[in-house]
Structure 1
Amino acid sequence: MAFGVKRSELLQWKKKAREGEVAFLTHFWLDDRFPQYHTVTKAACSNREKLVQWGKQYGLKGEWIHDREDFPHFDLLGDRQREILMEEGLYDQLEKLENRRKGMKVNE
């Protein structure tokens, strides 16, 4: 179950991904398969090959891509999620992670 994302953030993520950019969307998440994780970042790009090449720099494998609708994406979790967000300079999305880790409520 996904929550904690504004509609405007979702629309912006979709727009960037459709335009061939690697777009990032971090949101809160509950999944019984991964009870240790409470956030996920979706790194998406409509150009699958570009996404594969982007992922290689972080040791991500093409077979890990979720081929969903028009938005092929990697799901980034845990320490790797934090490392990639830092490397990409996505400090606003890191703030969501840190607020969650500290148990603070994040304003939507």
Structure 2
Amino acid sequence: MAFGLKRKELHQWKNSVKNGEISFLTHYWQDDRFPGCYTVTKVGCNDRKKLISWGKQYQLQENWIHADKDFPHFDLFGEKQIEILLEENQLEQIEKFNL
């Protein structure tokens, strides 16, 4: 279940993904399978080869991509989420969610 996300932010992310850009979207999240994780960052791109290549630099495996028809993406959480957001200079998302 997602929280802390504005419709405009979601639309911007979807448009960026559809345009073949590597795009980041962080929101609050609750899933009993992942105790202690309260945010998730979706990193999407509809150019699957580009997304796979991007993920390799962070040791993200191709089979971790959520194969959503229009919005393929990796889900990042925990330490890996923070590491990648820092590396990608996504400081606004880090600050907004106190990561």
Tell me the TM-score range normalised by the shorter chain.
over 0.9
State the TM-score, normalized to the length of structure 2: 0.96
Structure 1 residue 82, shift from structure 2 partner: 0.5
Partners of 1:69 and 1:4 lie apart in 2 by 24
Structure 1 residue 69, shift from structure 2 partner: 2.9
- Cα deviation digits, residues 33-79 of structure 1 (max 9, x gap): 11210000000000111000000000101011001130110000111
State the TM-score, normalized to the length of structure 1: 0.88
| Secondary structure of the structure 2 residue equivalent to 1:50 | helix
Give the structure 2 partner of residue 22 of structure 1: 22
Name stretches of at least 5 consecutive residues in structure 1 with no aligned partner: 102-108
Partners of 1:69 and 1:27 lie apart in 2 by 21
Identity %: 58
Give the structure 1 partner of residue 44 of structure 2: 44
Structure possessing the higher radius of gyration over alpha carbons = 1
Name stretches of at least 5 consecutive residues in structure 2 with no aligned partner: none
**Residue identity in the other structure for 1:4:** G
Give the structure 2 partner of residue 87 of structure 1: 87
CA RMSD of aligned residues (A): 0.9
Partners of 1:69 and 1:61 lie apart in 2 by 18
Partners of 2:8 and 2:89 lie apart in 1 by 20
Partners of 1:97 and 1:80 lie apart in 2 by 15
Partners of 2:85 and 2:14 lie apart in 1 by 18
